Amino acid sequence: MDERAELHARIDSLAHHDTLTGLPNRRMWNEQIPAAMNAASRTGRPVCVALIDLDHFKAFNDQFGHQAGDDLLEAVATAWGPIVRASDLLVRWGGEEFALLLPSTDEQQASDLLDRRQRVMPRRQSFSAGFTVVRVNPHDTVDLGAVMALADLAMYQAKHDGRARAVCADTLAG
């Protein structure tokens, strides 16, 4: 029975974690974000959703090789690990992108937490991040696709503004 339980745990880990970085993956995100929004609804506390894209990653890969790119992704996950609070969820979104769920976090706190990540980026690299802060009223339904689209739009604004920064979607016009 122990062997079967170990096998099940191993399969579950493979299904919910990125094999390169060891971080939770997008599947884990999709399973946990609805619960975070429900908790925000119950508590009345804001929840921040951020998308983070490593700057000039393709150029890094082209210059140093794909193994160096993989090493950079692993180093980023390692550098950010100590900054992740127990309530946070950091996932490898795909490629050189990460998603970050920050419960009970307002705009200023989110900006500060993203700045801390920027300061510990390995190999003199940087990232661009977009985030939005959601305030859920009880009995509201959150359009998670719209939340992610806002964070994505803000991330592209950060790139447009010169990279190596975080932009809050709430500050974007329109």
From first to last of the 174 residues of the chain, give the pLDDT tens digit: 798 888 777 777 767 999 999 999 999 999 999 999 999 999 999 999 999 999 999 999 999 999 999 999 999 999 999 999 999 999 999 999 999 999 999 999 999 999 999 999 999 999 999 999 999 988 888 899 999 999 999 999 999 999 999 999 988 865
* Domain limits, the chain: 2-171
pLDDT of residue 3: 87
Q: Which of 107, 85, 86, 120 is nearest to 151 (CA)?
A: 107
In angstroms, the CA 65 to CA 117 distance is: 24
Q: Per residue in 87-126, pLDDT tens?
A: 999 999 999 999 999 999 999 999 999 999 999 999 999 9
In angstroms, the CA 60 to CA 53 distance is: 13
Residues labelled catalytic: 96
pLDDT of residue 174: 54
Contacts of 101 (CB under 8 A, 6+ apart): 29, 32, 33, 36, 47, 48, 49, 50, 88, 89, 90
Contacts of 105 (CB under 8 A, 6+ apart): 46, 47, 48, 113, 133
Q: What is the pTM of this model?
A: 0.92
The CATH code of the domain at 2-171 is: 3.30.70.270
